[in-house]
Amino acid sequence: MLTSHSLAIAAAVGLLSGAHAAIWGMYKDSVYEGFGALCFVRSIIVGAAAAVAIQMSIHLPLPAPAAVVVLFGLAYAAERGIIEVWKTFLREQDQSKFFIPMVFSVGGVPVARRGVRLAAGAAYVSVVSLCLLAVAQLDHGAPGSPTLSASALVGLTVGIIIAIGGAWKDAPKEGFEPLKFFRSPVMAVAFALALSSLSESYLQIAVASIGYERAAVETYKTLFTRGKAPGKFTGKPELHPEMRTHRRQAVPVFLGIWAVVLVSSALALGERL
């Protein structure tokens, strides 16, 4: 049942997912671009709004720990999808400051014509939507807990979508890296298998896997490759070196959000044993 209490919890979960994405984005980019308050807050607002909209649509049994874990992944995927589609196909921005263009590009060359970018964006969203609709058809099959094989399949599907998108953007500038390409499908499958014990919906498993794959990959990049420039800034000067010190203040919050997710996951799995 949808209540104001469940919507408030959904907003809090979405706020955490958006803050998580905002922190790693700031941590990686602020040394080169400076701290952008609007960009930082944007992810938090979009994450919270996405979580509330999702809760209004599917009525997860919040505050059950399993529902919290699933909603975090769903909100994360929604926030990332909305922001990345906007940045890639809609936003007008000078690309000279990037090594890897952040707008829709072909062969590493940004597409200047807005109409072409909009058409490409519509095609991209349509293809992703059709893939998710195909996954959703599995929810109309035999009732019961998702099978591991089907969960792995939906995880593989969304993982390949992520990998193709990343390779389209990065490979023309960095070269094709097989390990990097297959990382997303492998991680998405792993998260889908883990989520299969927390949700009875293959669609929820697939979308939440996208969120957790993004969160995990960006956490690795943020915490374990700190001495390496983000790919999009390769070879670019550090215009705001003071941010190397200031950005550390956000790390405890970042790790605290992961702690909330991990504790919720442990509680959820404990309820199922």
44 touches 15 (CB < 8 A): yes
| Four-residue CA torsion sign, 243, 246, 252, 256 | negative
Helix/strand/coil (H/E/C) assignment for every residue in 54-91 = HHHHHCCCCCCHHHHHHHHHHHHHHHHHHHHHHHHHHC
Cα 77 → chain centroid: 4
CA nearest to 205, candidates 135, 100, 253, 101:
135
Q: Residues of the chain with pLDDT > 70: what percent?
A: 98
pTM above 0.75, yes or no: yes
Q: Look at residue 142 in the predicted model and tell me its pLDDT.
A: 62
Per-residue pLDDT, averaged over 131-155, amounts to 89
Q: Look at residue 41 in the predicted model and tell me its pLDDT.
A: 96
Domain total of the chain = 1
What is the DSSP track for 84-117?
HHIIIII-----TT-SS-SS-EETTEE---HHHH
Q: Look at residue 120 in the predicted model and tell me its pLDDT.
A: 96
Is the pLDDT score of 43 beyond 70?
A: yes
Per-residue pLDDT, averaged over 2-19, amounts to 96
Query: CB under 8 Å to 174, separation ≥6 — which residues?
Result: 100, 231, 234
Is the pLDDT score of 46 beyond 70?
A: yes
24 touches 220 (CB < 8 A): no
Q: How confident is the model at residue 90 (pLDDT cuts 50, 70, 90)?
A: very high
Q: Which domain holds residue 57?
A: 4-272
Per-residue pLDDT, averaged over 155-183, amounts to 93
Per-residue pLDDT, averaged over 13-35, amounts to 96
Query: CB under 8 Å to 263, separation ≥6 — which residues?
Result: none
Please give the structure tokens belonging to residue 29. 């980019």
Q: Look at residue 1 in the predicted model and tell me its pLDDT.
A: 63
